[in-house]
C-alpha cells in the first residue's frame, strides 16, 4: 500500500513540475516580414508585448521573410526555413510581389499557379500537424477609392487567400480588409502612402502596430 501511495505522489510531483514547451510560431513571407524583426517591426512588437505580459515562456516567435519572395519562393524554402524550426504554427503573408512584380519586372505569378503553389504549401504544413494562418496582402498604394494601379489584382489575390483559408480550415488575418477600413477612417486626403506604409507597401510605425495587434488576435487564439 505504501508503495502505491509513493508512486502516486511521485506521479503527481512529476506532473506538477513537467516542463511546458513554448508554442513556436514562424512568420513566413517577403520583405514586409523580413523587416518585421527590426526594432519597430511587428514581430518585435509582439515579442515586446509577451515580455510586458510576462508570457515569454508561452511563445517563441521566428521571422522567416526574404525580400522579393513570391508564393513559389516560399514553397522552395519551406523545409529549410520553417520545418527546420519544428513550429506549432506558421503565419503565411505573401501575395504583394505576386501582383506587384507583374508590373515592375514581368515576373509576377499567374492566378492558377498562385492558388496551386499556395494550396501545396498549406498541405505540406498541415501534414506535419502545423496550424496555419493565412494573411491577405495589405496594400500596393493606400488610396481609399480603389484607384491605386494594382487594386484590382490585389483584391483578386486577397480573395484567393480568403477562399483558401475557408477551404483548408486555416485561420485568416484579412489585412486587405483591415487596412482599407483603417484608411477610410484615417486617410481623408486619399494619400497613396504615409498612413500605414512608408511607400505604399512596406509598413511604417503605425502599420507595424496595427499588424501586431491584428496578428495577436488570431495567432494566440485557441
Distance of CA 158 to the CA centre of its chain: 14
Query: pLDDT value at position 104?
Result: 79
Q: Is the pTM of this model over 0.75?
A: yes
Closest CA to 187 of 144, 152, 128: 144
Closest CA to 74 of 161, 173, 196: 161
> How far is Cα 210 from Cα 215, in angstroms, rounded to an integer?
9
Q: What is the pLDDT along the chain (222 residues), one digit of tens a residue?
A: 555 555 555 555 444 445 679 999 999 999 999 999 999 999 999 999 999 999 999 999 999 999 999 999 999 999 999 999 999 999 999 999 999 998 877 789 999 999 999 999 999 999 999 999 999 999 999 999 999 999 999 999 999 999 999 999 999 999 999 999 999 999 999 999 999 999 999 999 999 999 999 999 999 987
State the burial class of residue 110 (Cβ atoms within 10 Å of its Cβ: 0-12, 13-18, 19+). exposed
Return the pLDDT at 18: 53
Task: Name the CATH architecture for the domain at 21-219.
Answer: 3-Layer(aba) Sandwich (3.40)
Strand spans (E) along the chain: 23-29, 59-65, 89-93, 131-135, 171-173
Residue 222: the pLDDT is 77
Amino acid at each position: 500500500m505504501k508503495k502505491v501511495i509513493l508512486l502516486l505522489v511521485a506521479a503527481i510531483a512529476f506532473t506538477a513540475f513537467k516542463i511546458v514547451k513554448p508554442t513556436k510560431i514562424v512568420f513566413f513571407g517577403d520583405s514586409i516580414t523580413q523587416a518585421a524583426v527590426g526594432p519597430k517591426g511587428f514581430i518585435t512588437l509582439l515579442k515586446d508585448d509577451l515580455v510586458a505580459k510576462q508570457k515569454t515562456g508561452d511563445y517563441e516567435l521566428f521571422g522567416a521573410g526574404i525580400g522579393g519572395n513570391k508564393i513559389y519562393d516560399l514553397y522552395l524554402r519551406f523545409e529549410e526555413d520553417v520545418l527546420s524550426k519544428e513550429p506549432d504554427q506558421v503565419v503565411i503573408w505573401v501575395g504583394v510581389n505576386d501582383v506587384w512584380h507583374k508590373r515592375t519586372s514581368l515576373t509576377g505569378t499567374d492566378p492558377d499557379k498562385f492558388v496551386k503553389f499556395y494550396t501545396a504549401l498549406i498541405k505540406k504544413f498541415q501534414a506535419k500537424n502545423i496550424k496555419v494562418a493565412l494573411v491577405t496582402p495589405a496594400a500596393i498604394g493606400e488610396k481609399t477609392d480603389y484607384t491605386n494601379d494594382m487594386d484590382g489584382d490585389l483584391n483578386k489575390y486577397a480573395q484567393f487567400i480568403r477562399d483558401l483559408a475557408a477551404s483548408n480550415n486555416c485561420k485568416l488575418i484579412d489585412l486587405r480588409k483591415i487596412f482599407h477600413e483603417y484608411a477610410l477612417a484615417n486617410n481623408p486626403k486619399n494619400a497613396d502612402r504615409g498612413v500605414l506604409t512608408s511607400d505604399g507597401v512596406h509598413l511604417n510605425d503605425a502599420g507595424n502596430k496595427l499588424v501586431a495587434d491584428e496578428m495577436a488576435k488570431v495567432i494566440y487564439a485557441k
